[in-house]
């Protein structure tokens, strides 16, 4: 019996030790749950502890059935071993790099891992928001039709108006960048008048215009259902309003160049009995060299001399008072008013009238009350021209030709900038323009004048004069060969002289 009791005491001591160790393993498991990224050394220690606990459980099983408490504690230790195994797996997972995805038995093949690396590549990236915006604004069917049928690829949305969208495109036939004005021809209460009255005029009128300072329309497309497309030249430097917002008012030297070109374009329209009726900074564009390109002829029409119109056209702040009062007007005098408002904005970057209160604005126009801002400081000559052009009485306003002869613009000759030798070409263009406007009102200036028979005769005379001029007037240095030739020539002369004397003597004429 003494031997049996000693064995039981030893078993109870071992079970108590196993209980302590199992509690320690339980605490370690709790710590491993709180800290997901343990080091590998901690996991090894937990494994050793589980081994010791397993050994103690086997010893506890060999103990008699009388000791029931230790057996319950061994169940706790078995749970602790399971938790320690889970911590071991977690520690192995934390040891892997975070960039690589965890493998599983179902997603371990290379083919299934490929889609995870695709989002990082540029080829699989989603299309830019700009291309999506172009498709939404113009329509996928319109873009595809223009590309396949007319070889026009829209690349950018430039702007939108009341009745149309304007986009930048590349013409694969002409191999140049163009602008497309896409007009929505679906009839609505707001667009009925424009589609039935103004658009038919515009599509005929723009194809007849031909001037360096008027935007050229190459083609009008009517092949797309419920759409009409104007193919025009592309103006790389945008419109005047965008430039003023970005850079502020123009200096007067630059303003003279721009306004002189605008006067030239309006003189051309007047000579062809065309009125624009929608002159504003948004409709004045610039090409790559900074030349004026007058565009947007949506409200333009042919208005012959003596004819009047009553249609309200244009933006309220640019419109003449007679148009606001719904009186009969002649188009050219209303265009003079709008051009003066443009000049005011060019040199001050502000509007001459405030259109928030239309009645107060109209009263100010009729009183000829024009106030200039204190900054920037502008010359009195440009102020005088603006005041003269903004006269409430249409008959008192100067014509476009008279505006060019004003004190402010008189010394600014017409010029057109090009890529090469812009100043030389500018002088010739200005002479031709002046000659055309003074000789005949029906033959407006249209850029460089074609050479006439008189010009060809002058060029031939110049060539003949150049040929008649000597190569050089500087005396030539004599060489040894020249000296020898001169000696031979003098000797021949002397021989001839002596021969003549001798012949005379033979004839009896000598002494």
Residue 392 · residue 329 · CB < 8 Å? no
Give the rounded distance of the alpha carbon of 209 from its chain centre: 26
Q: Distance between CA atoms of 380 and 237, rounded to whole angstroms?
A: 30
User: CB under 8 Å, gap of 24 or more: what pairs does 417-421 form?
Assistant: 417/289, 417/290, 417/291, 418/289, 419/289
217: CB partners within 8 A, 6+ apart:
206, 207, 209, 230, 231, 232
Residue 293, strand partner residues: 285
Q: Which of 14, 239, 278, 296 is catalytic?
A: 278
For residue 249, give the DSSP letter.
S
CA distance 219 to 180: 10
Gap between the Cα atoms of 258 and 307, Å rounded:
30
Known catalytic membership, residue 160? no
DSSP 8-state code for residue 395: G
Residue 123 Cα distances to 113, 116, 117, 118, 153, angstroms:
18, 14, 12, 8, 22
Kindly give, in sequence order, each residue whose CB lies less than 8 Å from that of residue 481, ignoring residues fewer than 6 positions away.
Answer: none
* Preceding peptide of 376 cis, ω within 30°: yes
**DSSP labels for 479-507?**
-HHHHHHHHHHHHHHHHHHHHHHHHHHHH
Q: Is 417 annotated as a binding residue?
A: no
What residues are labeled active site? 278
Annotated binding site for ATP: 181
Annotated binding site: 181
């Amino acid at each position: 019996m003494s031997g049996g009791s000693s064995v039981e005491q030893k078993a109870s001591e071992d079970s108590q030790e196993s209980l302590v160790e199992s509690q320690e393993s339980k605490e370690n498991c709790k710590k491993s749950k709180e800290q997901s990224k343990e080091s590998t050394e901690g996991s090894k220690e937990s494994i050793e502890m589980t081994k010791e606990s397993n050994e103690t459980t086997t010893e506890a099983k060999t103990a008699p059935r009388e000791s029931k408490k230790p057996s319950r504690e061994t169940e706790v230790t078995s749970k602790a071993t399971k938790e320690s195994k889970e911590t071991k797996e977690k520690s192995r997972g934390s040891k892997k790099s975070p960039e690589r995805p965890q493998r599983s038995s179902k997603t371990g093949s290379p083919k299934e891992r490929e889609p995870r690396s695709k989002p990082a590549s540029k080829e699989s990236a989603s299309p830019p928001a700009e291309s999506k915006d172009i498709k939404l604004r113009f329509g996928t069917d319109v873009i595809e039709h223009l590309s396949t049928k007319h070889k026009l690829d829209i690349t950018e949305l430039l702007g939108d108006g009341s009745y149309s969208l304007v986009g930048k495109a590349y013409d694969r036939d002409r191999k140049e960048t163009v602008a497309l004005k896409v007009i929505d021809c679906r009839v609505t209460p707001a667009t009925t008048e424009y589609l039935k009255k103004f658009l038919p005029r515009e599509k005929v009128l723009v194809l007849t215009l031909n001037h360096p300072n008027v935007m050229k329309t190459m083609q009008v497309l009517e092949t797309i259902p419920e759409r009409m497309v104007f193919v025009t030249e592309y103006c790389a430097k945008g419109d005047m309003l965008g430039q003023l917002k970005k850079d502020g008012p123009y200096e007067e030297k630059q303003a003279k160049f721009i306004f002189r070109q605008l006067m030239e374009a309006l003189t051309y329209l007047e000579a062809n009995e065309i009125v624009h009726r929608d002159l504003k900074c948004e409709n004045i564009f610039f090409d790559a060299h900074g030349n004026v390109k007058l565009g947007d002829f949506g409200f333009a029409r042919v208005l012959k001399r003596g004819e009047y119109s009553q249609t309200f056209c244009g933006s309220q702040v640019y419109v003449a008072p007679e148009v606001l009062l719904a009186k009969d007007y002649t188009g050219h005098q209303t265009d003079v008013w709008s051009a003066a408002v443009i000049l005011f904005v060019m040199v001050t970057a502000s509007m001459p009238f405030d259109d928030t209160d239309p009645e107060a604005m109209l009263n100010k126009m009729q009183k000829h009350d024009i106030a200039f801002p204190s900054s920037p400081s502008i010359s009195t000559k440009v102020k005088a021209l603006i005041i003269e052009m903004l006269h409430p009485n249409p008959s008192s306003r100067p014509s476009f030709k008279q505006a060019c002869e004003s004190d402010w613009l008189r010394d600014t000759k017409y010029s057109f900038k090009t890529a090469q030798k812009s100043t030389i070409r500018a002088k010739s263009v200005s002479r031709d323009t002046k000659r055309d406007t003074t000789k005949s009102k029906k033959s407006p200036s249209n850029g460089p004048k074609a050479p006439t028979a008189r010009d060809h005769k002058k060029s031939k005379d110049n060539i003949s004069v150049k040929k008649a001029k000597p190569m050089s007037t500087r005396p030539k240095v004599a060489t040894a060969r020249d000296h020898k030739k001169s000696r031979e020539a003098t000797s021949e002369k002397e021989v001839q002289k002596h021969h003549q004397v001798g012949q005379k003597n033979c004839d009896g004429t000598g002494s």
